[in-house]
Structure 1
Amino acid sequence: MSVRKALLAASALTLIAPAAMAQVNPAFAPVTGLYIAGGAGWNHVDKLGIEGSGGLRNYFAGLPASNSGSARFEEGFAGVLSLGWGFGNGVRAEIEGNYRRNEVDRIGGFGRAPITSAFGNVGGRLHQYGVMGNAFYDFAIPGLPVQPYIGGGVGYVWQEFDGVRATRLSPGGNSVRIDDTDGRFAYQGIAGAAFPIASVPGLALTLEYRYFGTLETRQNGRVTNPAGATVARGQFEIDNTSNHSALFGVRYAFNTPRPAVVTAPPVVAQQQSVARTYLVFFDWDRADLTDRARQIIAEAANASRSTQTTRIEVAGHADRSGTPQYNQRLSQRRAEVVAAELARNGVARGAISISAFGESRPLVPTADGVREPQNRRVEIVLR
C-alpha cells in the first residue's frame, strides 16, 4: 500500500470524527458484559505475486515465458460483524465474522522476450471471508471525549478467486484463468476510537483501521487458447495477502448503566428547624472547584446566615473508578476544598464538620470501575 493511500485513509477518518464527536457523551464507562458490533468500509489489497506450479510450471517451461506473474486489484469493500464480552477493566474479547471483496484491475508477468505483451480482457474478483477471535484494550484517558482502543486477532479465512482471467494480447492470445477457493490461517491488527452516543447509553460509533493478512494460498487454474480449449492445468501459488481497511461502525453494550434522574433534595421539617442539602459535583479524578460549584457553595453560605444555621455538615464522596483507598483520600480532599470555600464566603470554620465516605455511599449504584458523574460529589447539609 502506497504512502499516498495511507494518508488518504487517515484523512477520511479525521474528517468523519469531528461530526461524530458532536453527538457523544464524554462519560465513557468501560464495556462490561455482552456487546455486539459491526462495521463496513473501504478495503485495499496489496499487489499479489502469482506463480504457476505442477502442470502450469511445465507448460510455461516449454515456452519462452515465465511461470511468475502478479495481480493488482481495484479499491473494494470490507464488512465485519462481532459478538463480544467486556470485562469492565478495559479488556474485551470477541468472535468476528468478516467479508472483503475487490475486483481484479490488472494481470501482469508470465512472459519474457519475445513474449512480453500485456494482458487484456482482465476480469474477476477476489472474495475473502472467514472467522476471527479478537482481543482489545480500551484506553481511559481523562478529559478525552472519545475512547481509543487497540486490538488484534487470529483466525481462518477462505480466499475465493472468482472468474479471475486475463488474455495475452499477442502472440497467440492464450488466457490465464483462476477460479477456485482455498482456506488459510489469518491474522490482523486493529486501531480505533469509540464515540459514545449520549441519548442511547451503551451505543457508540466506531472508526477503525485494520491490517488483515493471510498466509499463501494455492488455487487451481488453467491456460486456454483463443478457442476456449484448455492447454494446461495446475495450481497457482498466491503470495501472502495483505489488506488495509478503514471501517465505520456501531457497537452496543447491553449492560451500560442508565443515567439517574437528578431531583431536587427534599426539604425535611425537624421541629422548628429545616435541613437543607446542597450538592457540589466534581470532574473525574479532580478535587478543584468549577465556577458552578463555587456558585452553589456561595448559595449554601448565604442560606446558612438567613436561616440561622447552627451546624454545617460537609461530606465528600467518589465514584468507583479507582481503588477504595484512593477514593477515600480523594473524597477527603473534595470535602476540605468545599469547607475552605464556605469559610471564604463568611461561614465560621468552627460551625463546619467534615467527613469523607470514599465510594461507600454512591448516589447512583454502579459496578466497580464505572465512572459515574453523580457519585463524584460533596454534600453540604445545613442544620
Structure 2
Amino acid sequence: MAQATIYEQILDPGSRADPYPLYARLRQNPVSREPDGTYVVSTYREIVALLHDPRLSSDPRNHQAPAAEPAPDSPPGLPLDFIRRDPPEHDRLRELANRPFGPPCSPGRVDGMRPWLAETTDRLIDELDGRGRVDIVEDFAYRLPVAAICRLLGVPLEDQPRFHGWADAFVATFDPTTGEFAERQQTRNRVQAELGAYLAGLIDERAHHPLDDLISGLLTDTGPHAPMSRNDLISTSVLLLVAGHETTVNLIANGTLTLLREPEVLDRLRGEPELSIRLVEELLRYEPPVHMITSRSVLADIGVAGTTIPKGAPITLMLAAGNRDPARFPDPDRFDPDRRDNQHLGFGNGVHYCFGAPLARVEAQIALTALARRLRAPRLAADPPPYRPNPILRGPRRLPVDIDGLGPAA
C-alpha cells in the first residue's frame, strides 16, 4: 500500500485535534499534486492570488473532478446557489442577496440585531444554571447561530428545531472521509430538496404577508436586477440557512476552547469587553471554522509557485495552512489578540468572501464576551475534546466544560 500523502493524513479523522504540524509540512511545497489529480495549495500568497484570479472557477460544471468523484450537481428543480457560480451570475445574485442584508442599502440590519443577540445569549446561558458540567457546542454554540439565521431569514421560532437534523445531514455530505461520493450526493440532494420545499412555502407566505426579514426584503426589492427568481431565492435561502450557522458554531466553540487554553486572555476579556473585536479576528486566523476550500478548478492553464495547474484540474485551497504561514504572520502558532496587520483567510478572500461575515463576527463577539463574564471558574473536562470528523468545517463535536455556577447577566 502506498504511503499516505500529507494531504491524505490531514483528511484522516485522527488528525482533527491538531492538524497544524501537518499544515507546516504541507507548506514546504506550496503546490502539491495528489494521486487523484487534485492540486493542493497551502501558502498564503498563492491562496490569495488564486482567490482573486478570474481563472479560478467555483462552478462545478467547469470541474474536471477526481475520477472517483464526479462533479456535484444541484437537486432537480433548483439552480446552483451563488457560492457555486462564477461572475457575472455570482455577482448579480450576491448583490441581490446583499441589498436587504448589508451596506449600502441596509447598513443597520446586523447592528440592529445586537440587542436581540445579547438578550438571546444571556437567555441561553441562564438555561445552564444549576449544572456543574455543560456542553458548549450542543447547549450554546449551536443554538445561538441557528436562532440568529432563522430570525434573519424570517423562519418562525417553532420551526427552528427542524433545521438541526437538516443542517447536520447536509454538512456531513461535504466530508470527503465519510461514505461514498454517490451516497453523499444523494443525501445532499434529499436534504436540499426538503429544505427547499419548506422554504418555498415560507416564500409564498411572505409574498402575501411581507415582514421585516431577509426573505421579505428579497421579494419586495425593486432595485437593479430585481427581482430574484423564485428558484434562485429558494437556493439562496438554503445556502444561508446552512452556511449561515454552521461556521459560526465552530467559531464560537473553537473560540471557547482557545480561551480556556489561554487563561490570561480569558481574564483580559472579562475586564475588557472591547477586546472581543480583535480577539475574534485572531481566532479567525488561529482556529478558523473553515479549514479548506474544495471544489474549485481553473478555466485555463495557470502557473502557481513554479507549478503549472492544467485547465479543468480540481484545486483545494488550504486556508488554515495559509493562516499560519510564517512568511505572512510573525510567530504564527501563537494566539495573540493584539496582533496587527491581521489579514487572515478565516472568511476566505476575493469575490467569494464570506457573505455572512458581518453577522458571524457580531455573534462571536457577543457570545464569547458573555461566556467569559458569566461562567464561573470554567475548566475543560477533556482536552482535546472529541472532534467532528469533517476536515473542512473543523470544530469540536462536543465541548464539555465544568463550571462552578453562573455570574449575573449584564
Same structural fold, with TM-score higher than 0.5 when normalized by the shorter chain: no
- When normalised by structure 2's length, the TM-score is 0.22
Q: Which has the higher contact order (CA 8 A, sep 6+)?
A: 2
Which of the two has greater helix per residue? 2
Structure-1-length-normalised TM-score: 0.23
- Structure index of larger Rg: 1
